[in-house]
Amino acid sequence: MLSSGLLQLSLQTNPFKHPKDSIFSRPCYTIKAMAAPIPGTEVSFGFGNLLETLTVDVQRAECRPLNVPLISPFTIASSRLDKVKNVAIRIELKNGCVGWGETPILPFVTSEDQQTALVKAREASELLRSSPSMTLGSILEEVGGFLPGHEFASVRAGVEMALIDSAAKSIGIPLWRLFGGVSNDITTDITIPIVSPVEAAELASKYRKQGFRTLKLKVGKNLKADIEVLQAIRLVYPDCLFILDANEGYKPDEAIEVLEKLDEMGVIPILFEQPVDRDDWEALGHVTQIAKAKYGISVAADESCRSIDDVKKIVKGNLADVINIKLAKVGVIGALEIIEEARLSGLDLMIGGMVETRLAMGFAGHLAAGLGCFKYIDLDTPILLSEDPVFEGYEVSGAVYKFTNARGHGGFLHWENVLW
């Protein structure tokens, strides 16, 4: 294990075997421990070769419910949330490094509810505790086999976060550097859930004062009400940028009608996210074609993209312009594979989340900053919580998150305060 003291980092080319310009072959860092416990320690690490070179030996693995109240109910077209009911995951390696992860739960979007997630996270923890020491890549492969597909993607994401966080701490670098080091900050949008026009205007005014330039507006439940909310927001914040997120709420003709109404109002959203049902591929392609050709608006696939096979289907049929990456939908490793496929296919990328604390959001933010390939960033939900259970981690200044040189993602919980 490298010293947690001063580290000298210098860029060099990553020799890992993935294809040229792969996210796995982004620049890595030569780590020279200035006060290393092992004389002469000098090892090159990027995420790709870290998978093959770092041995992981799990000493403890635990999970607990992570319940946090919201400032106000979070309502989207498919569900309503009054309280975050996620799962926190803590993994301690035999070298003493502790990694933290979070399994986000959002009804009707994630497959798992909290109880199911707790059961599977406990089983995964037992698997890790009983596993022999192995490379990071091998243990992540074991986790992927135990928690496969979309059915357990959110639990898998939480476990992967904790393992990767502990691995980054083992070599003494922050995650944003591990994932490529393109930047150490991001700028997020802010979400306005489905509320009345008066409430939406109040929120828009508040967020304008806080420095948010882009508002993500939840729509899709009632077309007439959606238009009224948009009109109210435009009165108090006329020059804001809009993302519309229907969460599958519209029928195809309604999705096109809302674009027509907005065009009449002189409003052009920068993005129209998941306008129709996730499994209505024909409708998604139709709305995408009209939105792009007639109004110059890009359409993002969110709920429709839950695997790399979905991405390939979207690319083949030209069904969307943007892929929304959420770790809770596909896991961390799955997300990296989808990012690579989308980039090679010329699709733009968005990164988002469910309703999460700064544990999961911090990990996603490090990933976005390090890779530097996301056109749209929607990592705002910790701002919607009435409490922040996470200590340290990234620094927040309005819409800007800044990531420090703390090891891993830098955030942690006081475990004794997390209720069973």
Catalytic residue among 85, 169, 218, 329: 218
Q: Residue 281's Cα: distance from chain center in Å?
A: 24
Taking each helix axis as running N to C, give the angle between helix 153-171 and helix 114-130, from 0 to 180 degrees, rounded to the nearest 10: 40
**Count of Cβ atoms closer than 10 Å to residue 294 Cβ:** 12
Question: Which helix H or strand E contains 93, and what residues bound it?
Answer: strand 80-93
* Alpha helix stretches (DSSP H) within 276-322: 281-295, 308-317
DSSP string, 189-227: -EEE-S--HHHHHHHHHHHHHHT--EEEEE--S-HHHHH
- Name the residue among 160, 172, 173 with its Cα closest to residue 91: 160
Phi, then psi, of 191 in degrees rounded to 5: -95, 135
CA of 25: how far to CAs of 20, 45, 131, 308, in Å?
7, 11, 29, 20
User: At 244, which amino acid appears?
Assistant: L
Taking each helix axis as running N to C, give the angle between helix 197-210 and helix 223-236, from 0 to 180 degrees, rounded to the nearest 10: 40
Joined tokens for residue 148: 């496969």
Spatial contact of 193 and 53, defined as CB atoms under 8 Å apart: no
Residues in the chain: 420
* Alpha helix stretches (DSSP H) within 21-98: 47-53
Q: Is 218 a catalytic residue?
A: yes
Q: Is 169 a catalytic residue?
A: no
**Count of Cβ atoms closer than 10 Å to residue 258 Cβ:** 22
Binding residues for Mg(2+): 245, 273, 302
Catalytic residue among 169, 326, 329, 375: 326
Residues labelled catalytic: 218, 326
